A and B are shown apart, each in its own frame.
Chain A
Amino acid sequence: MQTPGADGRFGQFGGQFVPETLVPACQELERAFTEAWNDALFREELNHLLKTYAGRPSILTECHNLGRELGIRLFLKREDLNHTGSHKINNVLGQALLAKRMGKKRIVAETGAGQHGVAAATAAALLGLECKVFMGAVDIERQELNVFRMRLLGAEVVPAQSGSRTLKDAVNEAMRDWVATVESTHYCLGSVMGPHPYPYMVRQFHRVIGDEAREQCREVLGGDDPDVIVACVGGGSNAIGIFSGFIDTHARLIGVEPAGGAAVGRGVPGVVHGMKSYLMQDEEGQVQEAHSISAGLDYPGVGPEHSYLSEIGRAEYPSVTDTEVIDGFTLLARSEGIIPALECAHALAWIKRAAPEMQGQVVLMNLSGRGDKDVAQMMDILGKK
Chain B
Amino acid sequence: MPIHLETHLRAQRSGGRKLLVPYVTGGLSNWKEAIRAAAANGADAIEVGIPFSDPVMDGPVIQEASLRALKDGATPFGIIQEISTLDIDIPVAVMLYYNTLFRAGHERFATSLVKNGVSAAIVPDLPLEEAGEWCRDADAAGVETVMLAAPTAPDGRLPLVVERARGFVYAVGLLGITGERDSLAATATALATRLKKITDKPVLIGVGVSNAAQAYEACKVADGVIQGASVVRRLMESGPDAVGEYIAEVRAAIDAH
Interface residue ranges, A against B (CB under 8 Å): 7, 15-25, 162-163, 168-169, 172, 175-176, 179-183, 269-274, 276, 279, 281, 283-287
Contact = CB atoms under 8 A, between A and B. Distances in A.
Contacts of A286: 52-53, 70
A179 B175 contact: yes
B100 A284 contact: yes
A162 to B, nearest CB: 6
Nearest to A6: B129
Interface in B98-114: 98-100, 102-104
A287 B125 contact: no
A274 to B, nearest CB: 8
B63 interface: yes
A167 B176 CA distance: 21
A15 B54 contact: no
A304 to B, nearest CB: 13
Given A16-B127, A285-B103, A21 B152 contact: yes
Contacts of A163: 53-54, 67
Most buried by B among A163, A176, A287: A176
A286 B75 CA distance: 9
B57 interface: yes
A287 B177 contact: no
B157 interface: yes
Contacts of A281: 99, 103
B206 to A, nearest CB: 12
Q: Give 3 nearest A-B pairs by CB, closest first.
A: A285-B103, A180-B176, A21-B150
A284 B75 contact: yes
A24 B70 CA distance: 33
B99 A19 contact: no
A269 B103 CA distance: 8
A103 to B, nearest CB: 15
A17 B128 contact: no
A173 to B, nearest CB: 9
Interface string B144-161: 000111111110010001
Contacts of B174: 180
13 contacts: A7-B129, A17-B130, A19-B150, A20-B150, A21-B152, A22-B152, A23-B127, A172-B56, A273-B54, A284-B100, A285-B99, A285-B104, A287-B53
B53 A182 contact: no
B124 interface: yes
A235 to B, nearest CB: 15
B54 A285 contact: no
Given A19-B125, A284-B77, A285-B99, 20 more contacts: A17-B98, A19-B124, A20-B127, A20-B147, A21-B150, A21-B172, A23-B129, A23-B150, A24-B154, A24-B157, A162-B63, A172-B54, A179-B56, A180-B175, A180-B176, A272-B54, A281-B103, A285-B52, A285-B103, A286-B52
B49 interface: no
Contacts of A23: 127-129, 150, 152-153, 157
Contacts of B148: 19-20
A270 B102 contact: yes
A272 B99 contact: yes
B126 interface: yes
B76 interface: yes
Contact of A271 (B67, B125, B150, B177): B125
A66 to B, nearest CB: 40
B151 A21 contact: yes
A16 B129 CA distance: 8
A183 B77 CA distance: 38
Given A176-B177, A179-B57, A286-B70, A15 B130 contact: yes
Contacts of B104: 284-285
Contacts of A20: 124, 127-128, 147-150, 152-153, 161, 172
A25 B152 contact: yes
Contacts of A169: 54
Contacts of A271: 98-99, 102, 125
B106 to A, nearest CB: 12
Contacts of A15: 130
Contacts of A162: 63, 67
A179 B175 CA distance: 6
Contacts of B124: 19-20
Interface string B26-40: 000000000000000
Contact of B127 (A19, A175, A279, A284): A19
A19 to B, nearest CB: 5
A285 B77 CA distance: 12
A271 B52 CA distance: 12
Contacts of B125: 17-19, 271, 274
Contacts of A276: 102
Nearest to A286: B53
Nearest to B149: A20
A286 B129 CA distance: 24
Contacts of A17: 98, 125-127, 130
Given A18-B127, A24-B152, A183 B103 contact: no
Interface string B77-108: 10000000000000000000011101110000
A22 B177 CA distance: 12
Contacts of A180: 174-177
